[in-house]
Structure 1
């Protein structure tokens, strides 16, 4: 019991310590359309150095990213989104990456977030 309590307290203090050490959050509007887009973006951002959390809200197409500013910055996060084939705020998607997306995920496709691919 003491070990479990200690583990919980330790994990909480580490989480609190990290949050206090300067973790930042940014919200970036994207051109994502569907669940496949969401999975692709979250996976690619999750693999990026310094990114702790990435979640795309398909309803408003906004990507929320929590990151360690000592390891990455907003420009790098936007670059990852752009290089994945999606717009990131005012940064336009890399054309070659966009053209490699499935047809249903390209900007000209109609929204279809309720469809499964």
Structure 2
């Protein structure tokens, strides 16, 4: 029984800091979506290779079907305008997509 208690306590000691860290990350990161002019898999590869090298970029996802690039970034290190410029620097157009549901809530 003591072994189970020790194991449970050890699991809590590992899990709690990990959960707290994940919550902190959500407070400091933001996700933005851009409609782009990507046309092929080479375009996707170019964006997926180069965009993460920009400061504060945590995650990049490209959807070739919708031509959208979704970027998760650290709010204190980057912003949507700079990310847009980075995409344009790669040779693609980029227009920030706003969430229609959020726009309807604001009205």
Q: TM-score, normalised by structure 2?
A: 0.72
Whichever of the two has the greater Rg, that structure is 2
Q: TM-score, normalised by structure 1?
A: 0.66
Q: Whose strand proportion is higher, 1 or 2?
A: 2
* More displaced 10-residue stretch of structure 1: 69-78 or 34-43: 34-43
Structure 2 unmatched runs, 5+: 1-6, 97-107
Structure 1 unmatched runs, 5+: 91-117
**Alignment correspondent of 1:73:** 79
Matched, 1:17 2:24: yes
How many Å separate the matches in 2 of 1:6 and 1:33?
48
Alignment length, in residue pairs? 89
Q: Whose helix proportion is higher, 1 or 2?
A: 2
RMSD: 1.9
